[in-house]
Amino acid sequence: MFNLSRKSREALTDMMLAGPATLAMGMLIFIPVIIVAFLSFTDYQMGAKTLRWVGVDNYATLISDPIGRRAIVNTLLYVAIVVPFSIALSLLVAIGLHGMADWSPSFSKALRAAYFLPVAATLVAMALAWQMLLHPSIGLINMALIHVGLPAPAWFSDRGLVMYTLALIGIWQSVGYNMVLFLAGLAVIPQHLYDAAEVDGAVTVWDRFWTVTWPMLGPTTLFVAVITATNAFRVFETVATLTRGGPAFASDTLVYALYREGFVYFKVSYASAITIVFFVFVCTLTIVQYRVLQKRVHYT
């Protein structure tokens, strides 16, 4: 066919394999990001025929406006709660189920499936289940609390509590996925390291955990932390279905705010500014996590 050198033919093959996906990435991600970044410096509104350059006004509004600030603080709070608790809890569950596989494989498998269910299920439907469970008067949880004589909080309408309630659901939702990742990490820890630790005198579960399990899970934990954090930053479904950012913006988050500003109030430029702030947060977090931790979890 063509009289190409072997090197150029191989290069052409590489281009053909990677090209289409790269093109799609460019069209669907990079170009929109550039457009969004541009729009965030204008006063463009959905359907408007003109737009005007307003500089950093949108960003200034986001930071100075109590509602905008609220969304940022709420999102950070949500991430700060969900990430450590989800990691700790999923690690505990994974270690438990990993050990259980030795004496009751079928029970361990059944529990794995149960923990993974929230990941596979539609979150909107699950959110409704949570709404029923946490209903202030007819919810199962409050009925139980009243029964044992504890106060029954208004989980979704108490302004001081609502973010924690959402974080709780966020933890519940992410534990299953993280558990699967940790189980995969645990499965590849060589048994001889535990044997060596045992011989070296690491007798307690605690010692073995710090001597072998935790260090050997380093790369897995880093990955889990990054995934959980980026997912937590994106919290939207529970907010949209359970609280709509309320009461009085007490549970407003970045992505819910951008949805409301952009698609309810059609303030595309302001929504774009929120998007960029969100984007910067996620990127910074990811880069920092990798930069700081990567050297400490890979040991060669």
Partner 1 sequence: MDDYGSEDVMGFQAVSRRFGSTEILKDLTLSISDGAFTAILGPSGCGKSTTLRLMAGLDQPTEGSVTMFGRDVSEKRPAERNIAMVFQSYALYPHLSVAENIALPLLMRETSAFQRLPLISKFSTSSRSKRAGIFERVKAIAEMLDLGDLLHRKPGQLSGGQQQRVAVGRALVRDPTLFLLDEPLSNLDAKLRIQMRSELSALHRRTGRAFVYVTHDQTEAMGMADRILLMLDGRVIQDGTPRSLYEQPQNTKVAGFIGGHSMNFLVLQRGATSAGGLFAGLGLSCSDPSMEMTLGIRPEHLDLDPDGPLYGKVEHVEYLGGETMIELLLDRQIGLETGSKLRALVSSARVPFGLGDAINLGCKPELVHVFESGSGERIRTGIEKAA
* HSE-CB of 186 using CA atoms within 13 angstroms: 19
| Residue 37 found at the interface with partner 1 (CB under 8 A) | no
Q: Residues 47, 66, 160, 201: which binds partner 1 (CB under 8 A)?
A: 201
Nearer to partner 1, 9 or 296 (CB): 296
The 10 Å Cβ neighbour count of residue 38 is 14
Candidates 22-30, 45-53, 192-200, 256-264; binding stretch for partner 1 (CB under 8 A): 192-200
Candidates 73-81, 133-141, 189-197, 224-232; binding stretch for partner 1 (CB under 8 A): 189-197
Q: Residues 202, 230, 234, 237: which binds partner 1 (CB under 8 A)?
A: 202
Tokens standing for residue 251: 């549970």
Q: Residues 58, 211, 228, 272: which binds partner 1 (CB under 8 A)?
A: 211
Min dist. Cβ of residue 203 to partner 1 (A): 5
Distance of alpha carbon 255 from alpha carbon 150, whole angstroms: 35
Min dist. Cβ of residue 205 to partner 1 (A): 11
Site string for partner 1, 131-170 (x = CB under 8 A): ----------------------------------------
Q: Residues 82, 212, 229, 240: which binds partner 1 (CB under 8 A)?
A: 212
Candidates 99-107, 146-154, 193-201, 227-235; binding stretch for partner 1 (CB under 8 A): 193-201
Give rounded-to-5 percent helix, strand, coil for the chain: 75, 0, 25
- How would DSSP label each residue in 80-127? HHHHHHHHHHHHHHHHHHHHHHHH-HHHHHHHHHHHHHHHHS-HHHHH
CA-to-CA dists, residue 103 to 98, 128, 181, angstroms? 10, 37, 21
Tokens standing for residue 114: 């149960």
The 10 Å Cβ neighbour count of residue 178 is 29
* HSE-CB of 120 using CA atoms within 13 angstroms: 7
| Residue 189 found at the interface with partner 1 (CB under 8 A) | no
Judged by CB under 8 A, how many residues of this single chain contact partner 1? 23
**What residues make contact with partner 1 under the rule CB under 8 A?**
190, 192-193, 195-204, 206-207, 210-212, 215-216, 218, 299-300
